[in-house]
Chain A
Amino acid sequence: MKEACSDAGTLLIPLSGELDHCRSNLIREEIERKILHSPKAETLLLDFSQVSFMDSSGVGMIIGRYKTMKKRGGNVCAQNLRPHVDKMFHLAGLHRIIRILPEQEENA
C-alpha cells in the first residue's frame, strides 16, 4: 500500500533531544528554512525517534510548522513517537491535524 507520506514530495526532518522552549527556539528557524528550501515538498515528515521529551513549547513549535505547510497546501506527518511524546500529541490534539504513521520497520 502506498502511503501518502512516503513519496518523493516528502521532506523528512529528524528531530532530537528534548523539545522544550529553549530547544524549540533554537530549531524553529532551521526547520522553517528547510521547508522554504523544499518548495516542492507537499509533506513534512517529522521523525521523533530521538526525541526523549516534549512539553507545550514543543507542541507550539510543531503547530507553527503545520501552519507553514498548510499555507502552501501541504500537510505534516509524524513517526516514531515515544510514549511520552505520543501522550503530548493526544493531549494537545495534534493527532487530529498531524497524521501519525505506523511504526516504521528499518527502511529496506
Chain B
Amino acid sequence: MSGVHPYCIVPEAYPPEPGLTGVDEAPVLGYGVGPLTVWVSPLGEAPPLDLGRVRQHHRVVEAATTRVTPVPVRFGGWAPTSEALFERILSRADELEAALAAVSGRVEFGIRFGDPAGSSEPSSGAAGPRSSGPSASPETSSGRAYLRARAREHDERRRRRERGASLVECLRGHLEALSMEERITSVPPPGLVAVAHLVARSDSDRYLELIGSFLRHRTDDCEMHATGPWPPYSFMVP
C-alpha cells in the first residue's frame, strides 16, 4: 500500500468497524503489526491540516475509544508507505504495548485556566514595582523605555507562572482523593495553564463531581474550562 494516515494503535483484537471512514472520507483499515493493530486510511499524500480534517481524525480515534482505550496518533503522522509505518511500529512494539496497558480503561480530562486580564498590556499595573503607570510616554523608542518594557514583560511572565502554579496546586489538593496521572502545559495569554488528567473511566463521575465542587468553592477570578472525556492524547507515546 502506498501512503497511509495513522489514527491510533490498539490491541490486535480490535480492528475498526466495517464502513468507518476518516480523513477525506477515506476508509479506515486495521492492520496487524506484531501484537498490535494500527488503524490507518490509505492516502496518497499527507493530508493538509485544517479543522475539518482534525475533526475527522478525532472521530476515528473516538470510535476506537468506544471499544478500547487506544494510543492515539496525532494528526500529522502520515507515512509514504504502509511498510515504513509498520516497521516503525514494530521497532517500538514493546513500548507501545506498555503504553496501551498504561492507558487501558482510562480517559483524559482537560482543565484550562485563563486570566481575564491576561491579554491586557503589561503596563496595566499588575506587573509589580517596575510598572511605570500610564505608558503613553514620548520616549517609547528610547533605550530606557525598551528596558522598562522588557522588565514589565518579565514580571508579567513570572506573575502568570506563579498564578498558574498556584491554581494547579489548589486543584491538586481538591482532587487528591483520586489516583490519576497529570500533565501540565503553560499556554499563551490570556491562558494561564492547562492541565490534563488521565482518570480511570470508572472514576469519571467522581472526577466530575470534584471538579464541580472545585468550581463552586474557588475564590480566584480566573476563568476555568473543563473538557472531556478525551482519548488520552496528552499521555501518548511521543
A, B in one complex: no
Q: Which residues of A contact B (CB under 8 A)?
A: none
